[in-house]
Amino acid sequence: MKILLILFPPLFASVIQLLIGRKLPRKGDWLPILGITISWITALSLFIPTFFLKQTVPHISLSVDWAFGGGALGGGALGGGALGGGALGEAFKLGFFTDGLSIATLFMVTTVSLLIHIFSSGYMHGNPLYSRFFAQTSFFTFAMLGLVISDNLLFLFIFWELMGLCSYLLIGFYSWCPDVGYDRDAPRKAGMKAFLTTRVGDAALFVAIAILYSATGSFTFRGIHSAIANGAVSQSALLAASLLILLGAIGKSAQFPLHVWLPDAMEGPSPVSALIHAATMVAAGIYLVGRSISFGFFPESALIVTAGVGSFTALFAASMALAAMDFKKVLAYSTISQLGFMLASLGVGGWTPGLFHLVTHAFFKALLFLGSGSVLHAVHTRDMREMGGLKQKMPITYFTMLIGALALTGFPGFSGFFSKDEILAVSLGWGMKRGAAGYIPFLLLISATAFTAFYTFRMMILVFHGKPKDHHRFEHAHESSASMTVPLIILSLFAIASGWSWLRTPFESIVSLGGGALGGGALGSGALGGGEEEIPHSAHTVAMVLSIIVSLSGIGLAFIVYHFEKISAEIFTRGIIGRSIHKALVNLWWVDDFYLWLIKKVIEISKALGIFDRRVIDRIVDSFGTASVIVSKGAGIADFRGIDYVANGTADLIRDAGDKIRMIQTGRLGDYILGLMVAFIILVVWVAI
């Protein structure tokens, strides 16, 4: 029952809102808020006993026949046949379950989504698409909740695709209804770019599911886990499936090289950005990898690839934020980078730190995006060069965003410090056991930490400190309404408290599967990976000290350059190297340009092949056709005037001869006797001669 109360209230609210929301009081915005509140309360009833009271993790399961097993086909002609109780009857079941990981994620998703919806009631007020907006965001939340509690890959994929649809609609929110004044092309292109880019990963995930089902005969996590544990899946099939699952997560969680859609997704309303970057969509990819690793889907070689992709993306995305001037895009690059931290942690054996960071990041990143929405709502621009001095105009927004910024940079005492510090520690410990090459993930992540501190406070200083750069915008700026500032305050509390060390130990127990549904857990010992990476104590100390040093250094450098202006920002663009690096950052390392070039080349090649087909292949084929026609006509003439003439002439000759001979046959006996006598006389004469 609790599973149903978590999953379906947002769905029902979305459907009602879509059908009659505009006719309800306040255009029905309270319906999605009420639906998500019910889900949040139910998730809280599972979370509190486990988290605070340290009770046993509740494992709730619900499974109903969907297609074959007892459904439309179950009791029919196929009911007692091969499909009635066979593989398909077992495979196509709609199943949900909860464990430590899903309970922690459910609490995060419902909490963040609820606060985003409350914020949206103020941010989107007066929008002509107000009612439809809430219907779509509520459905978005439903899709993420369904993904989190799905007990099988088939229905996880269905909810995965529903989120892709919602992201397309919400990113392009300002463009798909031009009759009410929104006729901008950028949101439409951004929505299409997100949809098409993530489809690459979706296709890979679908193939991975097919491989696992073909090898195990099951879609369920437990069924696949059992088959892997029993050696029923070959290592080559397992490696292929795991890498394809990783590619699916790379698309959904915007990791290199499929990261290009996420910065453009900022064309959607700010609450949508917060929902995508914190509670849904991009979190789904990390959750999928974490869930797959917990059930033993990833062999060692796939984990190494995961660590490489994540650590590289963390630094790569952080570098692009250094030169960005779009307020929301700085946060978008930050999200890509932080997701890289999580993916790298999962790859180096830090299952708990990576998923712990998923939860803490959701709170402080939702805070930062909603804070940016509060600023944009006041100044109506995303260009940080047109802001400045907003601290005195918007003190609540400033101080709450400051808390989020400190959490993002990993400042001691804030949530990001605890979760990111453990990721750095486990990556360093991983390197200690593997020699020089093993330190690469740690070096990339610690460098990304320095970049993060610098670009985050560069952003804060340009927006809130110094003198106003656009006095007209500054004079019209004002603090947001309570419906927007209260969620910011609540999220700022979570940005601090969610990482406190006294909460860390129970959190470790809630996301761990040891002793849970798997009876020892996929993270236990044995063939499925040997558990989480054991971290040397020295790694914790070194990682923490280095993390604090680079974070404080990045923050200090940002204040020296942009606040106190002791060093000119132009110093970073001087010289050949400086100009080259700055140009690369401004052009996003030309990845987008490369994709555009590649697409254009594919189109050009397609056109060239089309021309070659029409002018060469078609002409060759047509010439063969023409020759065939000529030959066939010649053969026809030869047949008509030669073969037919001979055949018909012979027939005519025989017929004429028959007619002549028929004249002899008079039917009179005397004629026949006379003929015989004449023939006899001729014969005698011929013999005598």
For 187-203, the pLDDT digits (tens) are 989 999 999 999 999 99
| Length of the chain as a residue count | 689
**Percentage of residues in the chain having pLDDT higher than 70:** 89
> Of 45-59, 174-188, 389-403, which one has max mean pLDDT?
389-403
**Percentage of residues in the chain having pLDDT higher than 90:** 60
Please report the pLDDT score of residue 511 as a whole number.
Answer: 55
Q: Write the pLDDT tens digit of every residue in 619-659.
A: 888 888 788 778 878 777 777 777 777 777 787 788 777 77
Q: Write the pLDDT tens digit of every residue in 149-193.
A: 999 999 999 999 999 999 999 999 988 666 555 557 889 899 999
Distances (CA, A) of 313 to 21, 318, 602: 42, 8, 27
Q: How confident is the model at residue 504 (pLDDT cuts 50, 70, 90)?
A: low
Q: How confident is the model at residue 1 (pLDDT cuts 50, 70, 90)?
A: confident
Q: How confident is the model at residue 479 (pLDDT cuts 50, 70, 90)?
A: very high
Q: Checking DSSP bridges between strand 93-97 and strand 61-65, what pairing results, if any? A: antiparallel
Burial of 237 (0-12, 13-18, 19+ CB in 10 A): middle
Please report the pLDDT score of residue 182 as a whole number.
Answer: 57
> Of 75-84, 169-178, 366-375, which one has max mean pLDDT?
366-375
Pairwise CA distance, residues 365 & 274, whole Å: 7
Which residue has 């280095």 as its token pair? 546
Q: Count the neighbouring beta carbons within 10 Å of the beta carbon of residue 337.
A: 26
- In whole numbers, what is the pLDDT of the chain averaged over residues? 86
Q: Is the pLDDT at 97 greater than 60, yes or no?
A: yes
Please report the pLDDT score of residue 502 as a whole number.
Answer: 43
Please report the pLDDT score of residue 221 as a whole number.
Answer: 93
Please report the pLDDT score of residue 203 as a whole number.
Answer: 96
